[in-house]
């Protein structure tokens, strides 16, 4: 299947790399466009894919088309490619805040699926959530799930939940990295070198997430398994329990979800 990418920034590149690495598509069957000549040269040299500046050419040539441009640029790009679209085109949008109905209004012939991925796609540990537009068929959903599975886990949820999805799994990697950075900083004040503290924090976060995913434990049960009574973990947890951290994290998720709603309103 010839696959097109409108936009080849960090997320677009992560998805291209993962699809090629998984063997889901050959480099010669990938077409991409980007406004930046430097990005175009980078992708052509690193992945041996075809890259240009013409969005309509990519739209006409690809059977599955990823919309990976910034949300504020999407209306202009859709106007460019609308004459090239038909019911044969499967359009997969990763633009935050832009609903399937919004895209379908501008591409009346396309079959649309909306996806919220995250940047962990770049290392094969992404979390992608998808929902189907009105014209998308069950076969389209299977195609998209197969593609998304090349770079992580996939979940299908109703579109009305996508603002919360954006806040949790879309913005979540940045929130986790923020917490990780602060924990590593605290460890450096205890005498550990910064590089060692980062490795300790990163592997610990990765291991905890993997243990929770593969073990199926509830996070509270996992906490109890780690924290022996009157031990070091319990001492740290007492500080967390006495702090407003739960409220702060809740406010961060609400702020990100609120911004996602604002983007949807244009």
Please give the share of the chain, as a percent, with pLDDT higher than 70.
100
- Closest C-alpha to 66, from 149, 123, 9, 124: 9
DSSP string for 110-153: -EEEEEE--GGGGGT-EEEEEEE-TT--HHHHHHHHHHHGGGEE
In a domain, 165, yes or no: no
C-beta of residue 7 within 8 angstroms of C-beta of residue 69: yes
In a domain, 164, yes or no: no
Q: What is the pTM of this model?
A: 0.89
- Report the CATH number that the domain containing residue 209 is assigned in CATH: 1.10.3730.10
DSSP string for 191-236: T--HHHHHHHHHHHHHHHHHHHHHH---HHHHHHHH--TTSHHHHH
Mean of all residue pLDDT scores within the chain? 93
Domain carrying residue 205 = 172-264
Q: Quick check: 167 pLDDT over 80? A: yes
Specify whether 77 is located in the same domain as 184.
no
Specify whether 151 is located in the same domain as 189.
no
Number of domains in the chain: 2
Specify whether 152 is located in the same domain as 90.
yes
pLDDT of residue 125: 93
Using the structure block, give the residue that is written with the tokens 């022996």.
228
Instruction: Give Rg (Cα) of the chain.
Output: 21
Specify whether 41 is located in the same domain as 103.
yes
Q: What is the mean pLDDT of residues 86-112?
A: 90
Confidence of residue 266 (pLDDT cuts 50, 70, 90): low
Specify whether 85 is located in the same domain as 190.
no
Specify whether 52 is located in the same domain as 90.
yes
In a domain, 108, yes or no: yes
CA terminus-to-terminus distance, the chain = 33
């Amino acid at each position: 299947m010839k696959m097109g990418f409108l936009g080849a920034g960090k997320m677009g590149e992560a998805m291209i790399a993962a699809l090629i690495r998984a063997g889901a598509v050959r480099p010669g069957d990938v077409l991409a466009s980007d406004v930046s000549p430097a990005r175009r040269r980078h992708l052509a040299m690193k992945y041996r894919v075809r890259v240009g500046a013409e969005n309509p050419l990519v739209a006409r040539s690809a059977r599955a088309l990823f919309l990976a441009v910034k949300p504020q640029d999407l209306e202009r790009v859709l106007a460019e490619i609308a004459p090239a679209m038909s019911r044969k085109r499967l359009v997969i949008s990763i633009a935050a805040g832009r609903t399937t109905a919004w895209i379908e209004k501008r591409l009346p012939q396309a079959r649309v699926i909306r996806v919220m991925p995250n940047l962990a796609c770049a290392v094969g540990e992404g979390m992608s959530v998808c929902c189907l537009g009105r014209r998308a068929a069950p076969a389209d959903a299977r195609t998209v799930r197969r593609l998304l599975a090349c770079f992580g886990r996939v979940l299908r949820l109703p579109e009305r939940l996508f603002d919360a999805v954006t806040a949790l799994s879309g913005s979540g990697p940045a929130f986790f990295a923020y917490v990780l950075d602060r924990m590593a900083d605290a460890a450096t004040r205890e005498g550990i070198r910064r590089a060692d503290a980062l490795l300790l924090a990163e592997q610990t976060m990765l291991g905890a997430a993997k243990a929770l995913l593969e073990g199926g434990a509830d996070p509270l049960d996992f906490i109890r398994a780690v924290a022996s009574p009157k031990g070091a973990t319990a001492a740290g947890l007492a500080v967390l329990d006495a702090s407003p951290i739960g409220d702060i994290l809740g406010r961060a998720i609400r702020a990100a979800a609120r911004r996602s709603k604002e983007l949807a309103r244009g």
